[in-house]
Amino acid sequence: MQYKSNGILCQSKVTVINMQSSTLIAMSGGVDSAVAAYLIKTSVGSAAGATMKLSDSGANEAAAAAETARRLGIEHYVLDFSAEFSREVVDRFCSTYLHGATPNPCIYCNRKIKFGCFLERALELGYDKVATGHYARIEYDRESGRYILLRALDRAKDQSYVLSVLNQRQLSKTLLPLGDLTKPQVRALAAELGLGVAERPESQDICFIPDHDHARFIREHTGKIPPRGKFIDTDGNVLGEHSGIINYTIGQRKGLGVSVGQPIYVCRIDAAGNQVVLGGEDSLYEKRLYANELNFVAIESLAGSMRVTAKIRYSHKEVPAVITMASERELCVEFDSPQRAITRGQTVVLYSDNAVVASGTICRSGGGDAPAGGCQG
């Protein structure tokens, strides 16, 4: 569909579906989901909005979403997934840290809640598809018979990384109407429509830890206080005492309380031995990683090797690599050049041009064995 924003002709490619079909739009109370709701409402036969209740907070977001739905003339629901969110996202987040890895809870939430529980509830309510305000694109490839996840045209806002865990069924039932728009275009359209959320600030960081103190949150949520242990160097020499492994992540330099006369970083966390290994900048670089919990998107499976570009965290710049299967359930990513701070528990996403090839959870790097506990608890 086309529309004008500040006199500029814009285009959003909302998949044309049967006018008898219906779509449930995930509405967070922000500008992206509000504009997504408008685009869906004007392009499909029937649409409604729904806000996910994930905790005891969030009443303001639900109220903002309800007001947007009223202005757009669509029905609005509040769907309570707080128990599922606590179990599938929060509990796993805590367990992963307690096992010495660093999780990305947005990945868990997308896989299990936003495109898991939300999608299933939408289908139960009689809707055919769901839509969200994510910046990415989904296209169906007739030749392969697969739904392909593509980067957004606005590379600065692209969210294909956090959607890379969606399976074929989830992709087939999802609409992403913002994939061809830029953020300024979205805000301009919201303003022209008179939506009160046009200048609403974007949400940042971990939604269930607003003060960013994840160690405090883990202690309070689990009732566990990780024991103190030893800082050691790469040769096994004791350098001092750490305050519990949940306080550290790969590449960390600040807050170590260790002085050796040169910059020193966390280069490995040994949960089984309750040790944090420290080393110089060069100790952070490795050329290979292994990932499990694999999700193949553009291809059904991998035979032989394949050239790709890879992202080892959301903010990481893509770099060239070759992928092969290390075992039936484990993928090896061999980078053209060593990468800094490859972190167990994070998601690696693999691209071919603009398409997501596959994703997986990093479970080890270099050539060593997987640490006790694997990628998670």
Q: Which fold has domain 2-192?
A: Rossmann fold (3.40.50)
Q: How far apart (Å, rounded) are the C-alpha atoms in residues 79 and 66?
A: 12
Domain covering 226-279 in this structure, CATH number: 2.30.30
Q: State the span(s) of the chain assigned CATH 2.30.30.
A: 226-279
94, 106, 117, 207: the active-site residue? 207
Question: What pLDDT is recorded for position 203?
Answer: 67
Question: What pLDDT is recorded for position 196?
Answer: 78
Q: Per-residue DSSP letters for 9-43?
A: EEE--PPP--TT-EEEEE--SSHHHHHHHHHHHTT
Question: What pLDDT is recorded for position 280?
Answer: 95
Question: What pLDDT is recorded for position 13?
Answer: 45
Q: State the span(s) of the chain assigned CATH 3.40.50.620.
A: 2-192
Question: What pLDDT is recorded for position 141?
Answer: 96
Q: Could you tell me how far CA 186 lies from the centroid of its own chain? A: 21
Question: What pLDDT is recorded for position 198?
Answer: 65
Question: What pLDDT is recorded for position 3?
Answer: 37
Question: Is residue 207 annotated as part of the catalytic site, yes or no?
Answer: yes
How distant, in Å, are the alpha carbons of 45, 60, 175, 272 from that of 19? Answer: 4, 33, 15, 57
Which residue is it, tokens 């909302």?
14
Q: In sequence order, what are the beta bridge partners of 149? A: 138
- Which regions in the chain score pLDDT beneath 50? 1-19, 368-377
94, 106, 109, 363: the active-site residue? 109
Q: Which fold has domain 283-365?
A: Elongation Factor Tu (Ef-tu); domain 3 (2.40.30)
The amino acid occupying position 142 is: R
User: pLDDT tens for residues 227-240?
Assistant: 999 999 999 999 99
Entry pTM: 0.89
- Terminal Cα distance for the chain, rounded: 46
Nearest CA among 41, 53, 22, 30 for reference residue 122: 22
